[in-house]
Amino acid sequence: MAYRLGNEHALKRSRFYYIILISGVLFVAFNLRPAITSIGPLIGMIRDDMGLANWSVAFLTSLPLIAFALMSPIAPKLANKFSNELTLALGLLVLFVGVCFRSIAIMFFIFLGTLLVGLGIAICNVLLPGVIKEKFPTKVAIMTSLYTTSMSIFATAAAGLSVPLAEDLQLGWQKSLLIWGLPAFIGIFLWLYIFNKSERNQKEKTISFYESSKFDIWKDKLAWQIAIFMGLQSLIYYVTISWLPEMLIDFGMKKTTAGLLLSYFQFIGIPTSFIIPIFAVKFKTQRLLATIVNILFIVGILFIILQPTLWVTIIAMTLIGFSSSANFSLSLTFIAIRAKNARDAAELSGMAQTVGYTLAAIGPIFIGFVFDITQNWYIPLFLLIGITFIIIVVGLSAGQNKYVLDRS
């Protein structure tokens, strides 16, 4: 009887730990976008309040991406030394401190906070695919769907609520940004609990997944194709969330409407981010899927260029939102299904996000610079179409049924 009660108690503890582990993954996902998507609708307020030029205020979006590129190769090594769990808690702590600093209306703290936000997100960005591969080896597709969907939900909330919080509730842009530090605060304690549980229970002792491969990921052709795919789709995404509201405002739209359309852009991606990973793994290759997704993006941008009615703009945002979310989900799916094990997934994730976010960091600054010179949005929009054609070409290679670091 005592033995059976002991087993039941252990089972309950195991179930509770499993629930906390899933919650931990989701709370990491909650923090991967809001600190960035909340900036776009407020970028005009911050620019006017702080007296910044367009290219420099765009740095508030690009600086986290630079931090992503710098931190991505380091994050797996930190996890190897301190454990995945503790490193994720550290990443969320750095993110939370950054959100707090960025809410201070002093130039130094705004940019310092933005840098810390980027470093914190980068740690979580890199480790999460490998953690899922390790902790949920038979549920990679569904867990990837859950965390990309959660990420999209909070990205949508941040984009849609930032202006109402700042203007309607009269919180100002500072407190509007500060609110998005709350998920990070909660996530810190979840991962500290998971770390403590893993340390105490030898049977669940943390497995370090960052081990040196006998092959160099940086010399792998397929890895580069995945990295470029991730980078260019990220570049387009961050240009969109940074400048699309401002574009629509310059085309005659109200600030609140532009912010709501950005929120809709994020919202339309929620079902997409859940469906695409599950849908993609059912096919031998993902080449056709990558092509169709990006053609839809081009059509959406062409609708924006035509400066259509509100309803046509909504259709355009539907296509752009679907494509952006699908591309991001495909990037993460490529990392999971093109790696044979958690170690390769970690190396591919670190490499892809280093290269990817280096490319992505260029986007918002460059587009802001082009607009400052030309004083119109047509050239930047046509540049996005050109980049999308490159994504289609790279997607044909990244979508092949192959593994990275496969020398068999």
| pLDDT tens string 258-273 | 878 887 887 887 888 8
Q: Which of 4-8, 160-164, 246-250, 334-338 has the lowest mean pLDDT?
A: 4-8
Output the pLDDT for position 209. 45
Instruction: Record the tokens describing residue 260, joined without a space.
Output: 């709501």
DSSP character for 168? I
| Residue 405 domain-assigned (yes or no) | no
Total structural domains within the chain: 1
Nearest residue to 125 via CA among 44, 40, 56, 68: 68
CA dist 131 to 66, 73, 84, 113, 174, Å?
23, 16, 7, 27, 34
Q: For residues 346-374, b (16+ Cβ closer than 10 Å) or e, as one string?
A: bbbbbbbbbbbbbbbbbbbbbbbbbbeee
Output the pLDDT for position 3. 45
Query: How far apart are the two ends of the chain, measured CA to CA in Å?
Result: 52
135-142: long-range contacts at Cβ-Cβ below 8 A with a sequence spacing of 24 or more? Answer: 135/21, 135/25, 137/342, 140/336, 140/337, 141/277, 141/278, 141/281, 141/333, 141/336, 142/277, 142/278
| Residue 408 domain-assigned (yes or no) | no
pTM over 0.85: no
> Is the predicted pLDDT of residue 64 greater than 50, yes or no?
yes
> Is the predicted pLDDT of residue 91 greater than 90, yes or no?
yes
| Residue 403 domain-assigned (yes or no) | no
Output the pLDDT for position 377. 86
Nearest residue to 82 via CA among 183, 214, 199: 199
Q: For residues 279-296, b (16+ Cβ closer than 10 Å) or e, as one string?
A: bbeeeeebbebbbebbeb
User: Using CA atoms, how far apart are residues 348 and 213, in angstroms rounded to an integer?
Assistant: 11
Nearest residue to 86 via CA among 98, 78, 94: 78
Max Cα distance, the chain (Å) = 80
- C-beta atoms surrounding 30 within 10 Å: 23
Domain that holds residue 127: 2-398
Question: What kind and span of H or E run contains 398?
Answer: helix 378-398
pLDDT in tens, 98-136: 999 988 888 888 889 989 999 999 899 888 887 887 778
| Residue 407 domain-assigned (yes or no) | no
> Is the predicted pLDDT of residue 241 greater than 90, yes or no?
no
Pick from 132-141, 244-253, 381-390 the range whose average pLDDT is largest. 381-390
Task: Tell which wins on pLDDT, 282 or 95.
Answer: 95
pLDDT in tens, 194-222: 888 775 554 444 444 445 555 578 888 88
> Is the predicted pLDDT of residue 4 greater than 70, yes or no?
no
Cβ atoms of 248 and 301 within 8 Å: the answer is no
| Residue 404 domain-assigned (yes or no) | no
336 φ/ψ sector (left φ>0, alpha ψ -120 to 50, else beta): alpha
Confidence of residue 2 (pLDDT cuts 50, 70, 90): very low
Output the pLDDT for position 93. 96
DSSP character for 205? P
Q: At what angle do helices 75-82 and 107-135 cross, to 10 degrees?
A: 60
Cβ atoms of 266 and 322 within 8 Å: the answer is no
Task: List, in sequence order, every beta strand (DSSP E) within 81-158.
Answer: none
φ/ψ (deg, to 5) at 306: -75, -5
Q: Which residue has the tokens 């609110």?
A: 179
User: Rounded mean pLDDT of 294-316?
Assistant: 89
Nearest residue to 356 via CA among 219, 237, 233, 221: 233
Nearest residue to 236 via CA among 393, 381, 69, 370: 381
Output the pLDDT for position 385. 94
Output the pLDDT for position 55. 65
Mean pLDDT of the chain: 82
- C-beta atoms surrounding 337 within 10 Å: 18
User: Using CA atoms, how far apart are residues 153 and 162, in angstroms rounded to an integer?
Assistant: 14
Task: Tell which wins on pLDDT, 9 or 183.
Answer: 183
Output the pLDDT for position 203. 44
DSSP character for 181? G
> Is the predicted pLDDT of residue 8 greater than 50, yes or no?
no
Task: Quote the distance between the C-alpha of residue 183 and its chain's center.
Answer: 15
Calculate the CA dihedral of residues 5, 11, 16, 22 and round it to 10 degrees.
Answer: 180
CATH assignment of the domain containing 59: 1.20.1250.20
